[in-house]
Amino acid sequence: MPQRVERRLMAILAADVVGYSRLMCADEEGTLARLKTHRHRLVDPKITEHRGRIVKTTGDGLLAEFPSAVDALRCAVEVQRGMIAGNVDASQKKKIEFRVGINVSDIMLDEGDIFGDGVNVAARLESLAEPGGCRKTSRTSSILRSKTWASSTSRT
Amino acid sequence: MPQRVERRLMAILAADVVGYSRLMCADEEGTLARLKTHRHRLVDPKITEHRGRIVKTTGDGLLAEFPSAVDALRCAVEVQRGMIAGNVDASQKKKIEFRVGINVSDIMLDEGDIFGDGVNVAARLESLAEPGGCRKTSRTSSILRSKTWASSTSRT
């Protein structure tokens, strides 16, 4: 009998840098250095603070999981606000902005990685978000609806 | 600064016995004994098998949480099927049937108990289910939709 897949309800957060190719073309080393600084000072600590876990990173983005949708949204809002402050001294050409997508899904866990259509949906949503914004699936919004903090601070 | 509430995405399952007052009026001791047998032989082991936890019980019902919506639905379907088999020899007057409601929510945890509107919604849904059936919120159905097993076996 095959071992049953371990499943868990999670809020999946996908984020990537707006116009990464353009930024890299203009200033490869500088872009990488600024991105690393934002990750180190803001993004990674916020994910940890909100009990999230970075599942994987790509050159310009990351995928994280959160046991709570409220925590995932709080993290996204605080990161996006922090990026506004972090970009104050940057010229338009050097500004790093993130797009974020959040989706609640019943994911499959295997050896530290996560699988399932819910992961792909988060990534697709992220690509549709405004620069500096965050998109959520309607079921994620439904779960967040009665959470006063979440509904008063979210930007979709 | 107040301590932050611990939140977690969970599938909440609420179940209770159809016509419990009528059954108790007709045969108090017999009903209680049969209910205990169904709990002991079927319901509680199925909840454990699907990684659920009984949060609380009432005279005629229970509230359980599952880390996965797929697991919660599997549990509900297997319990309801098991009850059909368990009632084969019972007369209509003595038959014990459950109504079940399932809702995915971002619940608050406190000292082993769970709180939030998602818990109340599961209980309200349960009261609307058919005897022997299971009702889910639309966001729960949305999460289950791409899970082939779940969509082919659920009865709402």
Q: What percent of chain B has pLDDT over 70?
A: 93
Q: A43 with A86: CB under 8 angstroms?
A: no
What pTM was estimated for this model as a whole? 0.87
In percent, how much of chain A has pLDDT > 90? Answer: 78
B15, B144 Cβ separation under 8 angstroms: no
What lies within 8 Å, CB to CB, of A78 at 6+ separation is A46, A50
The confidence score (pLDDT) of residue B139 equals 94
**Residue A89, pLDDT score:** 81
Nearest of B115, B118, B139, B135 to residue B127 by alpha carbon: B135
The pLDDT score that the predictor gives to residue B68 is 97
Residue of B nearest to A108 (CA): B68
- Mean pLDDT check: name the lowest of A34-38, A144-148, B33-37: A144-148
Contacts with A8 from chain B: Cβ below 8 Å: 67-68
B68 closest CB neighbour out of A7, A11, A68: A7
What average pLDDT does this structure show over B70-88?
93
Q: How far apart are CA A111 and CA A86, in angstroms?
A: 35
Q: What is the pLDDT of residues A99-111, one digit of tens each?
A: 999 999 999 998 8
Superfamily of domain A6-153: Nucleotide cyclase, GGDEF domain (3.30.70.1230)
- This complex has an ipTM of 0.83
What's the pLDDT at B52? 97
Tokens 């199925």 identify what position? B46
Q: Of A133 and B87, which is predicted with more confidence?
A: A133
Using CA atoms in the order A141, A142, A144, A146, what is the torsion angle rounded to 10 degrees?
A: 140
- Strand duo A6-17 + A61-66: pairing: antiparallel
**Residues whose CB falls within 8 Å of the CB of residue B129, separated by 6 or more in sequence, listed in order:** B99, B100, B101, B135
Shortest CA distance from B103: residue in chain A: A143
Residues of B in contact with A105 (CB under 8 A): 143
Q: What is the largest CA-CA distance in chain A?
A: 60
Size of interface A-B (CB pairs under 8 A): 63
Most confident of B1-5, B28-32, B84-88: B28-32
pLDDT in tens, B104-119: 999 999 888 899 999 9
* Tokens at A32, concatenated: 């990488």
Q: Per the CB < 8 Å rule, is B142 touching A147?
A: no
**Which chain B residues have any C-beta within 8 angstroms of a chain A C-beta?**
7-11, 67-71, 104-106, 116-118, 137-139, 142-144, 146-147
The minimum CA-CA distance between B141 and chain A, rounded to whole Å, is 10
Q: Judge: A104–B143 Cβ closer than 8 Å, yes or no.
A: yes
Q: Span B85-91, mean pLDDT?
A: 83
Structural contact between residues A9 and A66, judged by C-beta atoms closer than 8 angstroms = no
Of B11, B71, B143, the CB nearest to A105: B143
Q: What is the mean pLDDT of residues A63-90?
A: 93
Q: Which residues of A109-140 are buried (b: 16+ CB within 10 A; e: fewer)?
A: beeeebebebbebbbebbeebeebbbbbbebb
Q: Which residue has better confidence, A155 or B82?
A: B82
Identify the residue whose tokens are 């309801």.
B80
pLDDT at A151 over 90: no
Q: What does the alpha-carbon distance between residue B54 and residue B96 come to, in Å, rounded to a whole number? A: 20
Give me chain A's average pLDDT, please.
Answer: 90
Cβ neighbour number for residue B39 with a 10 Å cutoff? 15
Find tokens 């005897």 and name the residue.
Answer: B131
Say whether A9 and B143 touch across the interface (CB within 8 A): yes
